[in-house]
């Protein structure tokens, strides 16, 4: 399961999203990334919030680029882990929702 830990916000329930309807989310440019081993930290310079990403969450974060599609994110997770596409899509939805709820993605 993707995990995003935060020291400044409670985590909220993920949205239920339809993969086909989603535009590709993109990272906010003022959020910085520090990779540590196979995990990472995000720092939101607007709020001072710091977030910890596990490996799956990091894959999703790195995929959140304007040039890519939501399906690409699911492909990224499928390529990394031996899981079916539906499960990967669930993980991506949860992670994107958590990133969005914490204001780390462009609206």
Partner 1 sequence: MKQSASEPDFYTHFQIGPMRVAVRSIMPQATEDLSHLYQDFRMPDLAADEIDPQTTIRVDALPWKSKLPWRKRFAVHGDGKELFTCLRSNEILPYMEWAVNWRIIARGESFLQLHAATLEKNGAGLILAGGSGSGKSTLACGLMSRDWRYLCDEFALIDPLTHQLRAFPKALCVKEGSFPVVKKMGLPLWQRQHYAKAFKGRVAYVRPNVRSREVMDQPCTIRRIIFPRYVAASRPLLTPMARSEAAIELARMSFNRQSFGRRAINILSEICRHADCYRLESGDLGASCELIESIMPRQASVAA
**Interface residues with partner 1 (CB under 8 A)?**
5, 7, 32, 34, 36-37, 39-41, 43, 45, 48, 50, 52-53
Choose between 1 and 36: whose C-beta lies nearer to partner 1: 36
Choose between 89 and 102: whose C-beta lies nearer to partner 1: 102
- Least spacing, CB of residue 85 vs partner 1, in Å: 28
Structure tokens at 77: 């997770």
SS3 57: helix
SS3 42: strand
Q: Distance (Å, rounded) from C-alpha 46 to C-alpha 69?
A: 26
Choose between 34 and 85: whose C-beta lies nearer to partner 1: 34
- Least spacing, CB of residue 39 vs partner 1, in Å: 4
Q: DSSP string of 62-93? A: HH--TTS-HHHHHHHHHHHSS--HHHHHHHHH
- Least spacing, CB of residue 32 vs partner 1, in Å: 5
């Amino acid at each position: 399961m993707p995990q995003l830990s935060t020291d400044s916000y409670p985590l909220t329930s993920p949205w239920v999203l339809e993969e086909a309807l989603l535009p590709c989310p993109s990272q906010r440019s003022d959020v910085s990334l520090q990779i540590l081993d196979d995990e990472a930290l995000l720092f939101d310079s607007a709020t001072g919030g710091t977030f910890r990403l596990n490996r799956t969450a990091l894959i999703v974060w790195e995929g959140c680029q304007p040039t890519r599609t939501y399906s690409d994110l699911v492909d990224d997770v499928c390529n990394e882990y031996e899981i079916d596409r539906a499960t990967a899509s669930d993980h991506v939805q949860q992670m994107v929702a958590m990133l969005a709820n914490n204001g780390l993605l462009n609206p």
